Amino acid sequence: MKVFISVDLEGVAGIVQWDPADRQMEREFITAEANAAIAGAFDGGATHVIVTEAYGNMRNIVPDDIDARAVFLSGQPKPRNHVAGIDSTYGAALFIGYHSKAGTLGGVMAHTYTGSIFSLKFNGLEVGEIGTDASLVGHYGVPVIMVTGDKAACLEAKGLLGEIETVVVKEGVSRSSAICVQPSHARKLIHDAAEKAIRASVGGSALKPFTVKPPVRTDVTFTDPSYADGVANMPFIQRLDGRTITFTSTDVIHAFELFNAIQFLAGVVR
């Protein structure tokens, strides 16, 4: 089975705030959790593993330290952003180090893509990065079978995706503080959960891909009306109120690529 792994930062064990002083630690911790998931996937029966980066400049994995049995995709821009590289040949996806959507109570470092986005909806369903990325891999028939992150992220994942494997590595006290599992122990939990999830998937698990039925209406609410001002005059966009725009796409891939371009452009214009 080919296994797809996407790795973010904010749901990594021991990380509770964005701090440039922690940059090297962030890279080491991201790489270590990716390695735990890779090892667990292979121990569970994976035959091929790709890891794609989902944080910041998307050059976080320490190349010399990543498990040599896997390949990894770094850098940006890239199609489908966090899940670049996905296609229908993969049997399962794992999301490592993920976080909850913007505004989530108790969500450690909770946000939705950039600081300009307050809410993102596909066909009326509000999604964060977990739901969006799950819908993108789901478009290719690939189920998400495991998510790791803080408690709020894992609850969000189960609410959307069902009884998948989750690993809670911290529990938010506020958006920038948390009760944390010791990172080395968290990696052992990630390994064991990945092995269990892949073994079940190879054995014919009933987990289904998370899909958004086309056509896809996308509603984007910005944190500030100025962001909406910057993109509202595009011909395919309808302005709903001071902060909200909407547009309709043929499928979720097209919807996401438009959203991804809009969220970057909005910040530049402002």
> pLDDT by residue for the chain (270 residues), tens digit each?
999 999 999 999 999 999 999 999 999 999 999 999 999 999 999 999 999 999 999 999 999 999 999 999 999 999 999 999 999 999 999 999 999 999 999 999 999 999 999 999 999 999 999 999 999 999 999 999 999 999 999 999 999 999 999 999 999 999 999 999 999 999 999 999 999 999 999 988 889 999 999 999 999 999 999 999 999 999 999 999 999 999 999 999 999 999 999 998 887 766
Residue 211 lies in a domain: no
User: Running DSSP on this structure, what letter comes out for residue 116?
Assistant: T
pLDDT (0 to 100) of residue 270: 60
68 and 162 share a domain? yes
158 and 132 share a domain? yes
pLDDT (0 to 100) of residue 185: 98
User: Running DSSP on this structure, what letter comes out for residue 79?
Assistant: T
106 and 45 share a domain? yes
220 and 188 share a domain? no
Kindly report the CA angle at 28 between 114 and 55, in degrees rounded to 5?
15
20 and 47 share a domain? yes
Q: Which among 144, 178, 202 is the end of a domain?
A: 202
Residue 179 lies in a domain: yes
pLDDT (0 to 100) of residue 92: 98
Q: Is the dihedral of CA 80, 84, 90, 96 positive or negative?
A: negative
Kindly report the CA angle at 74 between 156 and 207, in degrees rounded to 5?
35
62 and 180 share a domain? yes
How far is Cα 98 from Cα 102, in angstroms, rounded to an integer? 13
46 and 102 share a domain? yes
Q: Which among 143, 175, 202 is the end of a domain?
A: 202
For the beta carbon of residue 242, count every other beta carbon within 10 angstroms.
Answer: 12
CB 4 within 8 A of CB 50: yes
pLDDT (0 to 100) of residue 134: 98
Q: Could you tell me the residue range of the domain that residue 77 belongs to?
A: 2-117+127-202
**What is the pTM for the complete model shown?**
0.97
Helix axes of 183-202 and 23-44: crossing angle, nearest 10 degrees: 30
| Residue of 48, 82, 99, 111 marked catalytic | 111
Q: Is 185 a catalytic residue?
A: no
The DSSP bridge partners found for residue 220 are 120, 245
